[in-house]
Amino acid sequence: MDLLLDPSSWAILALVGFIAGFIDAVSGGGGLLSIPALLTMGVSPHMALGTNKLAACFGSSMAAYTYYKQRLFSPSLWYHTFIATFIGAVIGTFIVYLIDNQWLEKWLPIMIIAIALYTLFQPNAMGDHNHKIPTKPKSKLRQWLQGLPLGFYDGFAGPGIGAFWTVSSTGLHKLPLLYSCGLARAMTFTSNLTSLIIFLMLGKVHLVIGLSMGLCMMAGSYIGAHSAIKFGLPFIRPIFITVILLIAAQLVWSAWL
């Protein structure tokens, strides 16, 4: 694909990538910024999805590594979640390549608004002091029930995936918030990388743009992850709610209005 961008366009993509990486590391939802930015620059829809997956791999890998280094994520405890997320992402990516996702576009905003309202009015939606640090693998069934649909969704679409992971991890596994964030970033990286490989095979990735945005996302993710770990729930919760409400508003606008 030949796509010539002027210096101002590259600067915009770099800034968008940095902010998207920061948001992704804290709450998820960076795709709300990066995908529309790519589309605005003239990248076709499937190419925008594939290119965004390349960029997002940089950001999500940095965020996942940061949580891992801070001992907020233990890969050995989530073996089945990894496999389920991988399988779900493979299926979702192939389906989104083959079909029109208008039905999802119309109903997704309602799902995300429901998460926002649940987080606003349920005090323990993002964890409380009674939630225990995980020391052994969680239920295999719950890992599959979580990983398979969320992997599918991230492969198929992706907006709000960080919110789905964080809230469902707190509800299903009773994880403290930062441990939910660590699991969310690791599994988002898994589904991003899986989808990226498939989009590369299909020739739907702009390598130069994806790598450039990816480096900026990595820098934003580094700062975002360290900020979330340092400041905890008082920092994460308002950003989390704000981002998912913005995602819902953007999806309502594009799908219903």
**Tens digit of each residue's pLDDT (9 = 90 or more) over 202-240:** 998 999 999 999 999 999 999 999 999 998 878 887 887
pLDDT of residue 115: 66
Residue 2 lies in a domain: no
Residues whose CB falls within 8 Å of the CB of residue 140, separated by 6 or more in sequence, listed in order: 80
Please indicate, yes or no, if residue 47 is contained in any of the structural domains.
yes
Q: Could you tell me if residue 137 is inside a domain?
A: yes
Residue 145 included in any domain: yes
Give the mean pLDDT of 129-146.
Answer: 87
Three-point CA angle 144, 148, 152, nearest 5°: 175
For residue 11, tell me if it sits in a domain: yes
- 224 and 25 Cβ atoms separated by less than 8 Å: yes
pLDDT at position 102 over 80: no
87 in a structural domain = yes
∠ Cα 141 143 146 (to 5°): 105
How many domains, in total, are found in the chain? 1
Domain that holds residue 240: 7-256
pLDDT in tens, 27-60: 777 877 888 888 888 888 888 889 999 999 999 9
Is residue 1 situated within a structural domain?
no
- Is residue 104 situated within a structural domain? yes
Which of 241, 230, 239 minimizes the C-alpha distance to 72? 230
